[in-house]
Amino acid sequence: MKIVKLLLLFAVLGIGATATVMYSGVVNVAADEPHSELVYWLLEETRENAIKKAAQAIDVPDLSEPELLLTGGVDYEFMCSGCHLKPGQSESDMSLGLYPSSPNLTIANKEHEGHEHDDDIQAARKNFWVIKHGIKASGMPAWGKTHDDQRIWAMVAFIKQLPTLTPEQYQVLSAIE
Amino acid sequence: MRTLTKLALVLIPTITLSMTATAHDPAMHAKEADKADCSKIDHSKMDMDDPVAVAMMKKCMKQDEAAKKSMEDMDHSKMKDDDNEHNH
């Protein structure tokens, strides 16, 4: 009985503390004021592991088909480049303003911190999942609501080649026909 | 009566002109998409096993074909002769 009362007390205290934090407005939600290293690490690890688990069963098709690059390139230019940049670009208003900042997709996946050991298949799975489902409270939309899987795979194929493209190659592949 | 006429003469054009403002198409502000600039691509250095190179070739060929078709569809008989204009 004592243990039950103790647990109830902790539960009430926990709810009270949560309500206090929520309604007091003490939490700083400004995107231009970064989290502490510990909070950032906790959030990032949670996110990466959630995506890895959710994407593990995805079958990756052949991404070497040139036609995929033509569709993916145009979509990337109009839907992605504002945040994720294009060859020859190191920042944009969106990439500077978002927090967490949108990854620069013009650099190779393995050069991103925390992704040094990703292989191409794993990277493709994760990219597909993130493009399709988005990420909560991050600014990354769920493009799957308006784009079918084939179109998303085309974007994944294009993103795979993006780090190898010169600005001239990018311009040709991303131009509307 | 004269006052009413004057009022009508002012109001009718004003209202008519103000209605044209709503006809402005927001799409006019949309970013104009650039066509592929195929002039800087060196075809002799392309590796045809590279999907990037093949995709670029396809894009540029489609663009060339579209440009040629557009030229063929033009009514050349209605084009002004520049030489004749200079001679006058």
pLDDT, one tens digit per residue, over A67-104 is 999 999 999 999 999 999 999 999 999 999 999 999 99
Q: What is the mean pLDDT of residues A139-149?
A: 97
Where are the domains positioned within chain A?
57-174
Residues of B in contact with A67 (CB under 8 A): 55, 58
Residues of B within an 8 Å Cβ radius of A: 33-38, 40-41, 51-52, 54-56, 58-60, 62-63, 66
Q: State whether ipTM is beyond 0.85.
A: no
Q: Which of A64, A66, A161 sits opposite B58 (nearest CB)?
A: A66
Question: At the fourth CATH level, which superfamily is domain A57-174?
Answer: Cytochrome c-like domain (1.10.760.10)
Q: Is the pLDDT higher at A157 or at A112? A: A157
Residue B65 placed within a domain = yes
User: B37–A168: do the CB atoms touch at under 8 Å?
Assistant: yes
Distance from CA of B74 to the nearest CA of A (A): 20
What is the DSSP annotation of B10-76?
HHHHHHHHHHHHHT--GGGGSPPPPPP-GGG--GGG--TTSHHHHHHHHHHHHHHHHHHHHHHHS-G
Nearest CA in chain A to B67: A177
Domain count of the fold of chain B: 1
- Give the Cα separation of A174 and B55 in Å (integer): 11
C-alpha distances (whole Å) from A22 to each of A15, B65, B82 are 10, 62, 76
Does residue B87 register a pLDDT over 90? no
- Give the Cα separation of B88 and A2 in Å (integer): 111
Q: What is the mean pLDDT of residues A25-29?
A: 94
Residue B15 placed within a domain = no
Q: pTM for the complete prediction?
A: 0.77
Residue B24 placed within a domain = no
Residues of A in contact with B58 (CB under 8 A): 66-67, 70
Instruction: Indicate the average pLDDT of chain B.
Output: 73
Say how far residue A83 (Cα) sits from the centre of its chain.
11
Residue B67 placed within a domain = yes
CB-side neighbour CA atoms (13 Å) of A28: 9
Distance from CA of A144 to the nearest CA of B (A): 24
Does residue B29 register a pLDDT over 90? no
Q: What is the pLDDT of residue B79?
A: 67
**Contacting residues for A116 by C-beta, under 8 A, at least 6 apart:** A110
List the domain range (segments joined by +) for residue B60.
47-71
